[in-house]
Structure formats: C-alpha cells, structure tokens
A and B are shown apart, each in its own frame.
Chain A
Amino acid sequence: MALLEVRNLKKIYTTRFNGNHVQALSDVSFSVDQGEYVAIMGESGSGKTTLLNILASLDKPTSGEVLLNGKNIVKISEKEISKFRRENLGFVFQDFNLLDNFSIQDNIFLPLVLSNKSYETMVKASAPIVEELRIKDILKKFPYEVSGGQKQRCAVARALITDPALILADEPTGALDSRAADDLLNIFDKINSKGQTILMVTHSTRAASHAKRVLFIKDGQVYHQLYRGNSSVDEMFTKISDTLTMIATGESRYE
C-alpha cells in the first residue's frame, strides 16, 4: 500500500471582492510509497504551494482526498488536525520558520514539548539527530546567531525528531547559498537512504535531481513524471532540464 495517496485533488479559490474563481489545482492524483524521495516541480503559479498546503493539512481542497497511511486527512476534524500534523508530518520550509525566542535546542524540542514528552525523552531523541546534522555545538545559540545552512539543518532536526511518516519540504534550498544547499541535499539523501520518506516541492533543478522521482505540475495538473532509475545525480539533472525545456517549448505537441 502506498504511504501517501492523492486522488483527484481540486482547489478553487474565490476572490473576496468580485467572486472570480481561480483554479489552483484542477485534478491532481499521485501516490508516494514508503521510503520514496519525490520532488514536485513547477513554475510559479503552477499550484505547487497549494498542493503542499493541502498535503500539510494547512488548507482544505475543494474536492478530492489525501490518504496518509490509509487515513483521509481531509476529513480529520479541526481539533485533531494539529496533533495529527505534529505526529505524522515533519516540515522544512524555505524560510526556516524557526522561532527567534527559542534557542536552537528548544526549537528542535518544540514538537515534543507540545506532545508533553519528558525532558529526558527529548534529549535522548535528539542526540543522534543533532550528531548526524552537525549542530551539536550550536544547540545553545539562538537562530539569529547562526548561518542559514545551520538554521535549515536545525529545521530538519525539528522535522525529524517526532519520527514522522512523511517529511514535507517547501523549497528547502531556496534561501541557501549553493554550498549550504548541496550540503542540505546530501543530508536529505542520507536520511532518505535510512528509510525516511520525503516529499519536496521545489523549482530548483539541482534540488530535484537528488530525488528518486520528479513530478512536474503545470496548470494545476500532474503533467509529467520522471523516474530516476539508476541515473546519477548529474544525469538526472540533465534529464530534468530537458524535460523542463520540453515543457516550456513544446507544449503544443501535447495539446
């Protein structure tokens, strides 16, 4: 059974003043298996962010369903949704979303504190993660005292600490310089190789080329997908670039 199953997702925004309808997602279906590393690509306005918000249960679709481990998250009540999100999903955002008033360590602990875990449990759960992500030395510092790469690694640690079924990453390399971005992508590879399922939204070809599968979204639909197979990262990079060129130039062929 697939870990995540997205079926006929549709999202229509109605603007507040003149009642115009804007279709952000018209019909999106795909599935993600346990241990997969999927990148979703698309231009600005293609519906990427809307899709991610729905997967993150931050937004509700107009129609369609999203099954995580067989459970329809669209139907979860407002009351339980935060708990569900906390326990099953890990988030990595473009702008890190760390709270300035917490030290790095407290930022990482945040989800566990909210779940009312004991301090000892938190320390124990975080120990291997902070080791792996090389942030052990900066735990006592505050977000404004560390670099962007360190911040993002801290955000990854926060996402991992609850041992979530799925990590959702929204342009995780968007605010990083190329070295920090490569570093982060290597970390994603590593945690994926240990069995962590990752779903990443990006429009960086380099980021997407690390994924095992790339979905292309255009005009609110899954337009194309690429499997990595046995290709190296560089070969994948070329494939994605070609696909993007094809989408941009040769769209008439498909219509």
Chain B
Amino acid sequence: MSKLLYPKLALSNIKKNAKVYVPYILTCILTIGMYYIINSLAFSETTRTLRGGDYIQVLMALGTFVVALFAIIFLFYTNSFLMKRRKKEIGLYNILGMEKKHISIMIFFETLYVALISLGLGLLFGILFHKLVLLLLLRIVSFDVQFGFEILPSAVAETIILFSIIFLATLINNLRQIHLSSPVELLRGGQVGEKEPKSNWLITLIGALSLGGGYFLAMNANDGMTSFLVFFPAVILVIIGTYCLFVSGSVTILKALRNNKRFYYKPNHFISVSGMIYRMKQNAVGLANICILSTMVLVMISSTSWLYSGVDETVNQRYPREIVTETTFYQKTEVDAAPFQEAAQLAAQKANTEVSNELYYEYIAGGGLRQGNNFIVDASSVQNYNQSDVKMLYFMPISYYSMFYDDTVSLKDDEVLVYSVQHEYNGSTLGIFNRIYNVVGTIEQFDPIGSSAANMVDSYIFVMNEEQFDWIDEQWTRLNYADDYTPEMTSVSFMYGYDVEDDYDITAAVTHNMNEIMTNEITAWNEETQETDTIAWINFVNRNYEFVDMQSMFGGFFFLGIFLGSLFVMATVLIMYYKQISEGYEDRERFRIMQNVGMSRQEVKKAVHSQVLAVFFLPLIVAGIHICFAFNLIRLLFSLVSMTNAARFMMSTVITFLAFAFFYIVVYLLTARVYEKLVSEK
C-alpha cells in the first residue's frame, strides 16, 4: 500500500464531512485568533505604557486565562460531537478491512490537518485583527491611538503550545474511543438513545428548589455587602437549577401534558408534545449550555457597559471637587481650614491657576452595631459583626454644614440632622453612648468626600451642634484608650476640597505642589505638637487621576465583556448549528413516516418547525428570566463601586438583551436553512 494513502484518505474525509468539519475548523481558527489577541494585549508594550495600563494588563491576563479554559472545554465538546457523527463511517472502514491501527493513522492525519490549518489561519487572523482590537480597546479607555504593527513572539509561542496540547488531547480521546469500541458499536454510533426519557421528580424538585433559592437570594439582597456575599451562591444555585430543570423538569411537564387526554389528542399538541419529549432528552444539556452562556454574555455586556457609561458620574459623585485632601487624625485636634487654604493657594499659584469652589468640613467616624435606633460601639460588638447590622457613623459639627449648605438651621442639644449615603436611615431617634438624640431632619443635599462616599456598608452622617460634637469625641477618645480598642477604629478627619482649572496636566501639577507643601508643613506641625502620631495619614486625591484609573479599569472590564461576550456568542452559534444538524438527521426519518401516515408536507413542516422553534428559543427566554432576577443583585453589587444609577443599568440591560435576541434570531434563521435542507433530502 502506498504510504500516501492515509494522508490522502484523511484529506478526503475532511472534505466529505465538510458540513460538520468546516464549522469546527472555523471555531478553532476563531478561538486561536482570539486567544492570540488577548494574550498579546496582556503582555505587549503598548498596553503596559498606557495610563492605567497596569489595570488593563491584569484584566487582559485574566481574560487570557478565561479564553484558554474556554478553548479547552469547548473544543473538546465540539470534537466529541464530530466523532459521534462519524462513528458509523469509521465502523464501516473497520468492517471493510482497515485495522484499528490504520484507522488511528488516518485519524492522526485528520487531526494534524485540522491543527495545521487552524493554527496557521488562526494566528494569521489573530495577528491581522490584533491591531483592530487594540484600537477598539484604546478607543474604549480613550487614549491616543498609536500606530505601528506588532507581532508578539511570546504570544505566538504560547498560542501554538496551548492549542497543540488541546489538539493532541482530542486526538488521544478520539483514539481511545475507537480502540475501546467494536465495529458494530461504531456502526450504530449515530443512533443511540432513542429510549423514552424517564421523568425524575426528584431532579425536577432539586432543580426547582435551587432555581427558586437562587432567585430568592437575588431578590432578597438589599445592600451591596449582602449582594456581594450571596452573588456566587446565587449564581451556582441558578446554574444547578437551570441544568436540572432543562434535563428533567421539561420532560416532567411534557409528560404531565401528555397525560391530559383532552389536551394531548389534538393534532397540534399530539405531534409537538411527544416530539418535544424526545428533543428535550437529547438536547437538554446543550440547551442548558446555551442558556447559561447567553445569560453570561448578557450579564457581562450589560453590566460592563453600564459601568463604563457611568464612569463620569461615579467619579463626580465620589470626588465632588477636583482636588481633595483628606487628613485623618487619631484624636481631635484644634484644626481649621487655614493651613490647607494657604497650601492650596500656593500650589495653584505655582501652576498658574486659581482655587475656586472650596468645600471643607471635619467629622468623627466610627463603626456601630445598629439595634433599632441604638448604636453599640464597643469593640466586641463592632468586631463580631453580622455584616449588614454594622453601619458607619459620621458626626459633623453644624458650623460646616451651615457654611456650605444651609445657614438657616440651628440645632438644640438633643437634635441631629441625618444624611444617608446608601440606605435611608429611617429612624426618628439616634441612641449612642446612652444619649438619645431626636432626628429633626433629613439632609437631601450633601457631598460626602473620600471614604465616606465609598463605603461598602451603609453610612450615616449626623450633623449636631458643637457641644454635642465635642462630647461624642470625648466619649470615643475614652474608648480609644481602653485596652481592647484599636485606635484605627475611629478617626477624626478633616476634608478639604477645591477646584482649579479642569485640565489633566494642571491638576496633576497642583496635586504635586500641594503634596510637597503639605508634607513640609506636617513635619513642622508634628514637631511642634511633639506627638508624631497625631496625624494618622494624609491623602491627596486628584479627580482626573481617579477618572483615568477608573476609566481604564471599567473600560478594561467593558472591553473584556465585549471580547468574551463575542467568544461565547460564537460558541452559542456553533452549538446551535450542530444541534440543527443532528436534529435534521434525526427528523428526516420521522418526517417521511408522518407523511406516509397521512400528514401533508406542510403540516409536518409546521409541526416540526414549531418544535424546533420552541427548543431554540427556550434558552433565550430562560436567559431573559434569569436576567430579570439578576438585575437587583447586580445593581446592588455595583453599588459597592458607587454605581447607583439603576435606570441606566435597566437601559443597558434592555438594549443588550434586544441586541442579543436580534443576533440570536438571525443565527437561528441561518442555521434553520441547513436544517430545512437536511430534512427535505430524500
């Protein structure tokens, strides 16, 4: 026998099975290309030298990992589908006299061709589109676009190594399957599993309970911290629920329908209910996969686009002034705005700009365990906390509030005003250190600066008169010197914020100057007071820096959302396509029999179509329901990073869903044509 026989045979096999091989190779090419792109984004010079490039690189490295994991799982999955379709053919080769050794050689060549074509074209695709994707990334994190063409050898090498291993693993898996099975089994390979599925009430129940549990967790979270804690449990419960319900719940429901004689013995219901029982059995796992992937895509894109679109708002909310100095003392010191004002004037002058729109105030901050309207602040209560009951408390003298917001109010000794950063305070009194204050008003407008604006737990700012402010400070200072209390648990802070000309370089210069001036001053100050630990720390914040940081971080997230989203969408498309093919092969026979028994071609077509339609749109619908329940949870989760605009999140979710649904329908229509063709073949 000619040595070239097997390579030739392998080539013609791929050609003959083009219907299943072409999509597989395309998937490989795309996956390889995308892996190369994200890998080179994670490690290229261009991204490293960006402003906020560190964030982006970390995110892209994370993305590289996700894509690699995805590639392994997904290529294995599609490969197994491929082999299932080809078992009959291989069995035939076996029966016609090819030994398993020869078949193995043939399969080896097939895999080799697929690997070579995929790697070659995949890398080419990756290198060509790398620049385009980089431009997209730069556009999203809005930096200047750099030109030039770049090939990262390390990314090329890693891509080749990873995918060679994957291809080798699929080859080994295929060979193992062929060696383990007899020709007769191979011949029958395509048509196993026509048994009627058993409906399993237990699994259905487990599914319903997990799904219900997941939804319950999601709906019942009402603050950022809880949502963070329940997020993963809820996701896992929903995934378990989805799989169980797709696999077992669907069959259980359909069987219940079948037992309803009046409903079942109608022409439409008769064909579709019994057909669906089988379809669900064969497709349940695939459909659950599609459903979970779709949900992931939807969550990722809607939330990251929301994050990204809200960068401006978030930064402005967290930093109400362009430059903010947050000075924290261990204990109350006689401090006022004067030294900060001087430093700011000087710093601005040096940078040829002017200070405007000043805002400053002083507050005491500490944690407290809320019981009704009472707060317990001793160390053991605050440390052994149940997350959601510990709140951050801020106390502020009324003088600053009058100066910047409202100078018409005056407060008696037992009166306070409250401003709530996350959840409303909802109490008529405030009890602390055995004193009870009446809450006489709620503050609507206030600009919390720095940490008070960014707390993960609920934070309340209480405004009180000077005497009471001093008294609270006294109480807390006493606690601070108690043995089991660490000073870090409370602090006295002075916030000083102002605007200068809104320009990245100018604000950078002012911040730099301010830092320099203040550092000198603090050294002098601490020498003067002879207590080096008076100032705990001082923090200079430049809103423009924060903006760039946040934009590169959220922009990176958004980019990753789009990138992984499109990868998952590709996977969804391929799974749908393969499903249509296998459905088509199986329905062909049924189609013929039904026509023989007296259904018209149109009737059969209609019946089969409605089933296929139901099967394919079920995942989309369920994904939609998941998203509805996830909405609350994700909204709260992102409140942790100060994203609070629920209306905009709603909008980005709806837009994402509609776009995805549109895409889904287009893909369905395209793949349905393949199905149609298969079924009509005689």
Contact = CB atoms under 8 A, between A and B. Distances in A.
Contact of A106 (B262, B266, B270): B270
Interface in B573-595: 590, 593-595
Contacts of B408: none
Given A113-B266, A119-B262, A86 B274 contact: no
Given A106-B274, A119-B261, A144 B596 contact: no
Interface string A77-100: 011011101100101010001111
Interface string A137-174: 00000101000000000000010000000000000000
A83 B597 CA distance: 10
Label chain A's interface by main secondary structure. helix
B415 to A, nearest CB: 76
Contacts of A106: 270, 274
Contacts of B195: 144
B23 interface: no
A144 B194 contact: yes
B153 interface: no
A237 interface: no
A111 interface: yes
A230 interface: no
A37 interface: no
A56 B596 CA distance: 9
B596 A97 contact: yes
Given A114-B267, A116-B267, A97 B597 contact: yes
B596 A58 contact: yes
Nearest to B279: A101
A110 B600 contact: no
Nearest to B269: A113
Given A119-B265, A122-B265, A110 B194 contact: no
Contacts of B593: 97-99
A216 interface: no
A97 to B, nearest CB: 5
B577 to A, nearest CB: 24
Contacts of A114: 267, 270, 597-599, 603
Nearest to B261: A119
Contact of B596 (A93, A100, A109, A113): A93
Nearest to B274: A101
Interface string B589-617: 01001111111110100000000000000
A142 B600 contact: no
Interface in B253-293: 261-262, 265-267, 270, 274-275, 277-278
A82 B595 CA distance: 8
A86 B597 CA distance: 7
Nearest to A120: B261
B274 to A, nearest CB: 5
A26 to B, nearest CB: 24
B265 A110 contact: no
A101 B261 contact: no
Interface in B409-459: none
Contacts of B266: 113, 116
Contacts of A118: 265
Interface string B469-497: 00000000000000000000000000000
A113 B270 contact: yes
A35 B91 CA distance: 49
A144 B196 CA distance: 10
Contact of B603 (A56, A82, A102, A144): A82
B274 A85 contact: no
Q: How large is the interface on A (under 10, 10 to 19, 20 to 34, 35 or more residues)?
A: 20 to 34
B265 A109 contact: yes
A100 B195 CA distance: 8
Interface in B547-584: none
A93 B262 CA distance: 30
Nearest to B265: A119
Main secondary structure, interface of B, reads: helix
Contacts of B603: 82, 114
B250 to A, nearest CB: 15
A105 to B, nearest CB: 11
Most A Cβ at <10 Å: residue of B194, B265, B594, B599: B265
B277 A101 contact: yes
Contacts of B275: 101
Contacts of B262: 119
Interface in B24-54: none
Contact of A85 (B267, B278, B598): B598
Contacts of B599: 82, 86, 114
Contacts of A93: 596
A80 B275 CA distance: 25
Contacts of A119: 261-262, 265
Nearest to B590: A99
Contacts of B594: 99
A182 B116 CA distance: 60
Identify which of A83, A109, A113 gathers the most chain B CB atoms within 10 Å of its CB: A113
A111 B270 CA distance: 11
Nearest to A93: B596
Nearest to B270: A113
Contacts of B601: 78, 82
B597 A100 contact: no
A119 B598 CA distance: 19
A113 B196 contact: no
A91 B597 CA distance: 7
Contacts of A91: 596-597
Interface in B234-268: 261-262, 265-267
A213 to B, nearest CB: 25
A113 B267 contact: yes
Contact of B194 (A56, A85, A100): A100
A113 B598 CA distance: 11
Interface in A174-232: none
Contacts of A116: 266-267
B265 A142 contact: no
B30 to A, nearest CB: 36
Nearest to A158: B597
B578 to A, nearest CB: 21
Interface in B185-224: 194-196
Given A99-B590, A101-B196, A86 B265 contact: no
B189 to A, nearest CB: 17
Contact of A81 (B265, B597, B600): B600
Interface in A13-63: 56, 58
Nearest to A82: B600
A106 B597 CA distance: 13
B511 to A, nearest CB: 72
Nearest to A121: B265
B615 to A, nearest CB: 14
B95 to A, nearest CB: 22
A79 B593 CA distance: 18
B597 to A, nearest CB: 6
A142 B266 CA distance: 20
B112 to A, nearest CB: 35
Contacts of A111: 597-598
B267 A86 contact: no
Contacts of A113: 265-267, 270
Contacts of A101: 196, 274-275, 277-278, 590
A97 B597 CA distance: 9
Contacts of B196: 101, 142
Report the 8 A-B pairs with minimum CB-CB distance, sorted nearest first.
A86-B598, A82-B600, A113-B270, A119-B265, A97-B593, A101-B278, A119-B261, A101-B274
17 contacts: A56-B596, A82-B598, A82-B600, A82-B601, A83-B598, A86-B597, A86-B598, A99-B590, A99-B593, A100-B194, A101-B196, A113-B265, A113-B267, A114-B270, A114-B597, A142-B196, A144-B194
Interface of B: 194-196, 261-262, 265-267, 270, 274-275, 277-278, 590, 593-601, 603
Given A78-B601, A83-B598, A114-B603, 10 more contacts: A86-B597, A86-B599, A91-B596, A93-B596, A99-B594, A110-B597, A113-B265, A113-B267, A116-B266, A119-B262
